[in-house]
Amino acid sequence: MRLALLFCATLALSAQSPAEKAIATALDDWHLAAAQVDEARYFGHFAEDAVFLGTDPKERWPKAAFQAWAHPIFQRGKAWTFKATRRAITVAKDGHSAWFDEDLATPNLGPARGTGVLSRDKDRWLIEQYSLSVPIPNALMKSVTAQIEVAGKTPR
């Protein structure tokens, strides 16, 4: 069984184009940088005008603002750990931009999803936009949207 799984994984990896492999490597390193609390490496994966969209509706962070917000977290010596469990990557025909979606295992959020856009800068792929979300099963949607509506009416 293990040999069959290894063979399937090898086939899947070999089916990736060089650009897809480079993007997957960049995204894996980006997630690893956060887990290893390497702030410079983590933010080095962002384009200068990048935007990070968090799970809260108010979280639209241009890179500089996101970095300012995250800096104290990195300084504490513990950031966050996201591990991609599935990822789909599409490279534009011109080879200079790409988009992806990934399912994430996270200790704090539980199952999560990330989607994003990257651009190629010479030999590097940089994140232009990343959107983090928590997928809600359809069977729970009515209850969750009702809770969100109530939370929106609650004074903050």
Average pLDDT per consecutive 10 residues, the chain (156 residues; last block may be shorter): 52 77 98 98 98 95 98 96 97 97 95 97 96 92 90 67
Give the predicted TM-score (pTM) of the model: 0.85
Residue 9 belongs to a domain? no
Residue 7 belongs to a domain? no
Residue 5 belongs to a domain? no
Residue 135 belongs to a domain? yes
Q: Are strands 83-91 and 46-53 parallel, antiparallel or unpaired?
A: unpaired
- Position 101: which residue type? D
The position carrying tokens 């933010």 is 43
Residue 1 belongs to a domain? no
**Whether 62 contacts 49, CB under 8 Å:** yes
The torsion region of residue 32 among left (phi > 0), alpha (psi -120 to 50) and beta comes to alpha
CATH code of the domain covering residue 53:
3.10.450.50
Structure tokens at 38: 């390497």
Instruction: Note down the domain range covering 53.
Output: 16-153
Residue 3 belongs to a domain? no
Domain count, the chain: 1
Amino acid 15: pLDDT: 85
Residue 2 belongs to a domain? no
Residue 11 belongs to a domain? no
